[in-house]
Structure 1
Amino acid sequence: MYQLFRIIQRDTINLFTNPMWAVFSLLFPFLLVATLGFLTEGLYSSQFTSYDYYGVTLMLFSVMYTATFSANSFMEEKIKNANLRIVYSPIQDWFIPFSKIIAAFIFTTFFYTVSAVICHLLFQIRFGSENSLEIWLLCVGMNFVFSCIGVLMCCIFKSEGVANQIISNLTVALAVLSGFLFPVASFGAAFVKISKWLPTTKVLQTIFEMIYDQNMLNFLPVLSMLFVIAILILGVSLFLFNGEEYV
């Protein structure tokens, strides 16, 4: 386990010392919230502002892009070359994908949390008061799911480019169907029915219930659902990973 810890430590440091990724993960959610919150400010009330809506939905939308970070950190060519020594050393092959998932998860959790705090302070976004920790845990749970998805796409398609194309399309489709960009009811009843079955929609609904209704009934079921989904995706990723194909 010491070897695994050292690999995770090195992968995490590599992410934190990449200035482009650090700036992107910090500014991407902030700029999304600031722009759409400002453009739609007149469409919402003073009790429920555009920043309240997009502060939650666009933070979740940004969380889905964690899959891109984990995919890039897993299959970028210069990183693959650096892992040659690990693949051919007497340790478990699954250390590599598992380490990339954990490193991407730690990296994005840190910067998205900082970005959410900045948005809260600048735009007075309501992220809950007494239940803010539970809301953060749901976001973290969803972050872990998409950290696993990025590596899974790489294990399936064996290509960073193809994996990122699939991830981008999947992210946008889920964001639209889950109401992250605008209310899904505008698409009609059929899309509303589809939306209700999506895990991302359940996370969004639970967060809004916790903020505005102080309803905690769905917190543990939804958090457990995210945990189960993440473990299943992680298990499939580790099963599919082949060290020789990776290099």
Structure 2
Amino acid sequence: MSSYDYYGVSMVILSALLIIMTATNAFMEGRVKQANIRMIYAPIPKFEIYLSKIISTYILGTLAFSSILIIGQYFFYINYGGTNLPYILLIVNMLVLFGSCFGTMMCCLLGDEEKASSISQLPVLLFSAFGGIFFSVYGLGKMVAAISCLSPVRWIMECAFRIIYDNDFALLLPVTFSLLGASIVCIVICQLTFKPEEFTC
């Protein structure tokens, strides 16, 4: 594995996680909130408001990252698995879904876009650092390597590299369903905590 291929995969995973910031901006950025006061008075259930932001962010992220992966593999010769590219696309798109749901959930919990963006970045950076996004953690000793097992990013990276280099799909379903389950949990929390008045004020 070259460093070119390693960072080609790891930076896409990090970028997909940072869709959280796009979700918070789409949901509660100042200019967006001012334009959405009409939603409070519209005769629609509150879940349609936050789901519309999740879906729009997810569609944008899916189109963007699918394009990046396809262009990266066929024009810049980054190894995204060759014929296994659809599976890497699946993992990244599930990560985008989770990021969209997580960012929206943080807005619902905190009621403020700036706080949501700032606080959301901390676990992303910690999980990314211990997950091996920036460098391999195995050179830092057994204790750090053991801690990295707690990072969900580590398992996403492991799953992607196993598919690309070993043709091993053992982690694909666990990772996919874990991200889907985490996304559903975020949506449930949104439903319990979302207050439409905070969406516009």
TM-score for both structures, normalised by structure 1: 0.77
Deviation at 1:200, TM superposition (A): 1.7
Where 1:165 maps in the other structure, the secondary structure is helix
| Higher relative contact order structure (alpha carbons within 8 Å, sequence separation ≥ 6) | 2
Preserved CA contact (<8 Å) 1:155 1:240: yes
1:77 corresponds to which residue? 30
Query: Out of 117, 133, 150, which is 1:164 matched to?
Result: 117
Q: Aligned partners of 1:77, 1:241: CA distance in 2, in Å?
A: 17
2:72 corresponds to which residue? 119
Query: Out of 149, 165, 183, which is 1:212 matched to?
Result: 165
Preserved CA contact (<8 Å) 1:70 1:101: yes
Amino acid corresponding to residue 187 of structure 1 in structure 2: L
Preserved CA contact (<8 Å) 2:20 2:120: yes
RMSD over aligned Cα, in angstroms? 1.4
**Residues 35-76 of structure 1: CA deviation (Å, up to 9, x unaligned):** xxxxxxxxxxxxx21111001101000001100000001001
Where 1:208 maps in the other structure, the secondary structure is helix
Where 1:217 maps in the other structure, the secondary structure is coil
Report sequence identity in percent. Answer: 31
Where 1:131 maps in the other structure, the secondary structure is helix
Count how many residue pairs are aligned between Structure 1 and Structure 2: 200
**Stretch of structure 1 that moved more, 94-103 or 123-132:** 123-132
In structure 2, runs of 5+ residues without a counterpart are none
Preserved CA contact (<8 Å) 1:51 1:123: no
Deviation at 1:122, TM superposition (A): 4.1
2:41 corresponds to which residue? 88
1:44 corresponds to which residue? none
Preserved CA contact (<8 Å) 1:57 1:181: yes
**Residues 100-138 of structure 1: CA deviation (Å, up to 9, x unaligned):** 111111101111222223322343111112321111101
**Residues 151-181 of structure 1: CA deviation (Å, up to 9, x unaligned):** 1111111111111111222222121111011
Change (3 A) 1:62 1:177: same
1:232 corresponds to which residue? 185
4+ runs deviating over 3 angstroms: none
Q: Aligned partners of 1:129, 1:106: CA distance in 2, in Å?
A: 24
In structure 1, runs of 5+ residues without a counterpart are 1-47
